[in-house]
Structure 1
């Protein structure tokens, strides 16, 4: 047992020594891509997330199992958030979606500007009517060019088994965009805990049954909450 833990610790060390320095290069060069334009910024982010998926598989021994299917065309993807893993893995799987970000992340110097150039949709928890209009405008612009929308509707990363209620921003996007909804469940926190060593294993990303637009708030929130937590 002790030998297995040593091997896992070594794999985590190798991952840290390779993934984070390369990620620093991607972060440092992101403003250049952002200056060129949104397409360049999306391509830049996708190269980073594909590198992340490679490093996760080869260095940590963590593989991805994708279940379910996606509809053609733009959709709203509310996803469970248990680890950094799905934030990056879904960027590649969903072909560069517009991602809903917290205001504090968008306010980071330089990085926040690059995120906005990527097409991130910024949600302000203390949103004024003006801020909400801006969020909806950015989301509509992403859909107009065929991009999916990715949101973590519980609002924060949680441990396996935790199922907090959805934040109100999801229902607002759903009502305004009138898009089909594809809930995404994951069990990433089992092998990728918030604290401690990442362990070899399989992470499932499950695309749930497509939910049509037009439902009332109580029904859409209940269906999404149940679907993103189905692997808990």
Structure 2
């Protein structure tokens, strides 16, 4: 019975947050079309209100740990669910994301992604996509901000394994900014698919930056090690065994 009640609460929560996205998108649209500040304010409002709604509608409490970067950096983040996007964006002052190109054509999200300066990537073109991404990022960084990229390229379920791709290292080299790794356990409570949202403590943890100048192979190895090690620790902290013995 408890599980059924939680599923119903989760369904209501999902309806509410997507309806709220549409409402905010329409209300802020005139402001966002004329200034990036309007788009940023709309997205910050959505992120923070969604975190608040999650706390009392489905029992997901959100906690941000570590030193949140405020300067120009590349953020290499573990990506398990929509929730970690919301938590990271809510925490950093001027976030912009490397995102799959298809999202530009979705209602509301596409408009605001463009206005925030998010960088679309055609994931099917591989090498060509990486080269274009670097060019687009260099152009977009005429304005300061924190660039968020997911080194594994997609959402990865808690405990699942997926290789880290070279794109993060290319950006790290090309931009010359520090890279801040981010670990999370958000997918334990807000999974990639399905309706069910589980109560508990969702965490994103901003880790020590990797300063510029580290070689590409060493950088990728270090990035993967610190993100995976810390993400596994965060999952164990809330009772989920990433190796499957939970």
| Same fold, judged at TM 0.5 (above) | yes
Is the Cα–Cα contact under 8 Å of residues 30 and 114 in structure 1 kept in the other structure?
no
Q: Which residue of 1 aligns with 2:219?
A: 220
Q: Is the 8 A contact 1:31 1:111 kept in 2?
A: no
The 3-state SS of whatever aligns with 2:180 is: coil
Cα deviation digits, residues 156-186 of structure 1 (max 9, x gap): 1111112311223212211111111110011
Q: Taking structure 1 as reference, are residues 103 and 211 closer, same or farther at Cα in structure 2, changes over 3 Å only?
A: same
Q: How far 1:121 moved relative to its partner?
A: 1.2
Structure 2 partner of 1:116: 114
Q: TM-score normalized by structure 1? A: 0.88
SS of the counterpart of 2:201? strand
Following superposition, the deviation at residue 74 of structure 1 comes to 1.5
Q: 1:40-189 residue pairs with structure 2 within 5 A?
A: 40-108=38-106, 111-125=109-123, 126=125, 135-189=133-187
Q: Quickly say closer, same or farther: Cα 1:110–1:22, change in 2 above 3 A.
A: closer
TM-score (norm 2): 0.83
Alpha-carbon distance, 1:104 to partner: 1.8
Aligned pair 1:199/2:210, yes or no? Answer: no
Aligned length: 229
Residue 113 of structure 1: CA displacement? 4.3
**Aligned CA distance change for structure 1 residues 33 and 135 (closer, same or farther; 3 Å):** farther
Cα distance in 1 for residues equivalent to 2:73 and 2:98: 14
Say which of 32, 36, 39 aligns to 1:38: 36
CA separation of 1:14 and 1:101: change in aligned 2, threshold 3 A: same
Cα 1:128/1:220, change in 2 over 3 Å = closer
Match of 2:8 among 7, 10, 33: 10
* C-alpha displacement of 1:137: 4.4
Taking a change above 3 Å as real, the CA distance of residues 135 and 32 of structure 1, as seen in their structure-2 partners, is farther
Corresponding residue number in structure 1 for 2:239: none
Structure 1 position 18, deviation (Å): 2.2
Kindly state the Cα deviation for residue 143 of structure 1 after the two structures are TM-superposed. Answer: 4.0
Q: Which runs of 5+ in 1 are unaligned?
A: none
Change (3 A) 1:165 1:33: farther
Secondary structure, counterpart of 2:197 in structure 1? coil
Rounded to whole Å, the distance in 2 between the matches of 1:167 and 1:31 is 35
**Quick check: 22-31 or 116-125, which moved more?**
22-31
Q: In the alignment, is the contact (CA less than 8 A) between 1:191 and 1:199 conserved in 2?
A: yes
